[in-house]
Each structure stands twice: as C-alpha cells, then as structure tokens.
Amino acid sequence: MKKKIIVACGGAVATSTVAAEKIRELLKKENIDAEIIQCRMNELESKKDGADLIVTTARVTKDFGVPVVHGVAFISGVNVQKTEQQILDILK
Amino acid sequence: MIDSKYIIKDLDVSNQKELFETIGQALMEDKIVKDGFIEALLKREKEYPTGLPVNPGVAIPHTDGTLVNEDRLVFATLKNPVTFAEMGGSDENIIDIHIVILMAIKDGKKHLETLRQLIDSIKKEEFIKGLFNSKNSDEMETIIKKFL
C-alpha cells in the first residue's frame, strides 16, 4: 500500500524541498512506495488526512494524530542517520 | 541567483531586525522583492526560526515566494554575531550567528539542484569556515562559486 508522507516547513520553499528530496532517496533505497507532499506548517491541518507520517523542519506544537519526525537533520547535517531510522521505523 | 552585489563581508548590524532591514532595503530598491518583504522575514523568523547549529552559526532566513520578483541568494558574514533561534527548536534554543544566507526565491522546486547544493555545502566546514575567514567579498564569491 502506498504510504503518504507530508513534508512541512515554515516557508515551503527551500527546506521542505531539500528534505523531501532526501526522503525520496531514502525510500527508493529501501524500496518503500510513497507519495510525498510538500506544504507549509499552517497547511498541515488541512492536508494531514490519510497521512502515514509528517516530517517537519519547524517546531510542532499540535497533535495531528499522525506520527511526526523532526527533519531539521536533513538541513543541518546533525543526526541524519537517527532521523532516517525514525522515518523507516514508522513506515515499515 | 548568485550576484556579486549581494555577497557582503562584515555586515555591521546590531540585531536581527537591523539585519533584515538592511538587506531587505537593498533588495527592495533593486525591485528583487516586493513591499512587505522585511516584515514577512521578521514574522516568519519569529514563528519558524532558521538558525542552524553549524559552527560558527549559520542562518538561512527566507519567506515564501509570493513576495519575490527575482531569485537571489544573499551571502553575508556579520561583523558582530546576531542571535537567531534554532530551526525546529524551542524559544530557549538561541544561536549566535556569524553567517547569513538569505534566500529570496520564488519557486523552490525550480532551483532544487542549487538549493540542495547550498544546504549540502552548509554542512561542509570548508565552505562555512572559508566564507567566515575570507578577507573580502571577492574571496567569498570564489568560495561560493566553487561550491555552488
């Protein structure tokens, strides 16, 4: 079954684009079929239905009922493997 | 996207507001961004900070594409560090920033390759330390062009 992943950031311009690409590569490597949607933090409420995972580069204060992984590692390079493992643990 | 005019060494500002005002004014005068860009930067930074814990402190402020006319990357090393909050962190996580890479971008997906290279370069000590230790903006430009 195809997974649905939402990548959100404060501006939906730069950081979510780069994070989404890195996630795409990770999933390809692991043979996980998924749809990746990019959006801004304030659009999460309207886009979260049916999502298996939310990855964000910004602080999350609400509970969306969907697992959230902090993706700042894809931007700062700090703790990338840990973040990738968190994503895989949720999707597998 | 890379423009010598927007590669600045030792920008002298005392705080984030002054930083955004100084860069924002220049971009607005050149009609690269629209009115409201400075306020949008400040607002976004408050809600979704862009400080990165990469030594010696790098921030990547930007807003969404609606206020941008032309794509530009602005690179500035700061004479005195300015505090930014950490991306994805809480209000207490503040970082002293010495290098600012402001992205005025209309459509992120169109520039995926450059953005990727930029984000990947930020993790490379050679790039960030290189910018930080450059003697002048020409040296900065050489380093930027080498990595991007």
Cβ-based burial of B3 (10 A; exposed 0-12, middle 13-18, buried ≥19): middle
- Chain B contact set for A14 (CB, 8 A): 60, 62, 103, 105, 108, 115, 119
Please list the residues that pair with A39 across neighbouring strands: A8
State yes or no: ipTM above 0.90: no
Task: For residue B100, give the H/E element and its range.
Answer: strand B94-104
| Confidence tier at B2 by pLDDT (50, 70, 90) | very high
| Confidence tier at A12 by pLDDT (50, 70, 90) | low
The encoded tokens of residue B65 equal 């594409």
Q: Residue B37: its pLDDT value, please? A: 96
- Write down the H helix ranges in B34-81: 37-47
A83: contact with B, CB 8 A cutoff: no
Q: Is B94 helix (H, G, I), strand (E, B) or coil?
A: strand
d(CA A20, CA B75): 24
Cα angle at B42 between B91 and B141, to 5 degrees? Answer: 105
Q: Which domains does chain A have, with CATH numbers?
A: 3-91 (3.40.50.2300)
Cβ-based burial of B46 (10 A; exposed 0-12, middle 13-18, buried ≥19): exposed
A92: contact with B, CB 8 A cutoff: no
Q: Is the peptide bond before B56 cis (omega within 30 degrees of 0)?
A: yes
Model confidence pLDDT, tens digit, residues B52-63: 989 899 999 998
A80: contact with B, CB 8 A cutoff: no
Task: Indicate yes or no: CB of B62 within 8 angstroms of CB of A11.
Answer: yes
| Domain boundaries, given as residue ranges, for chain B | 2-147
Lay out the sheet containing B58-59: strands in order across: B2-11, B72-85, B94-104, B58-59, B51-52
Q: Max alpha carbon distance in chain A (Å)?
A: 32
d(CA A46, CA A59): 18
Model confidence pLDDT, tens digit, residues B20-52: 999 999 999 999 999 999 999 999 999 889 999
β-bridge pairing B72-85 and B51-52: unpaired
Q: What is the mean pLDDT of residues B129-134?
A: 96
Could you confirm whether domain B2-147 is CATH 3.40.930.10?
yes
State pTM to two decimals: 0.90
Cβ-based burial of B97 (10 A; exposed 0-12, middle 13-18, buried ≥19): buried
Model confidence pLDDT, tens digit, residues B55-104: 899 999 998 789 999 999 999 999 999 999 999 887 789 999 999 999 99
Catalytic center residues of A = 9
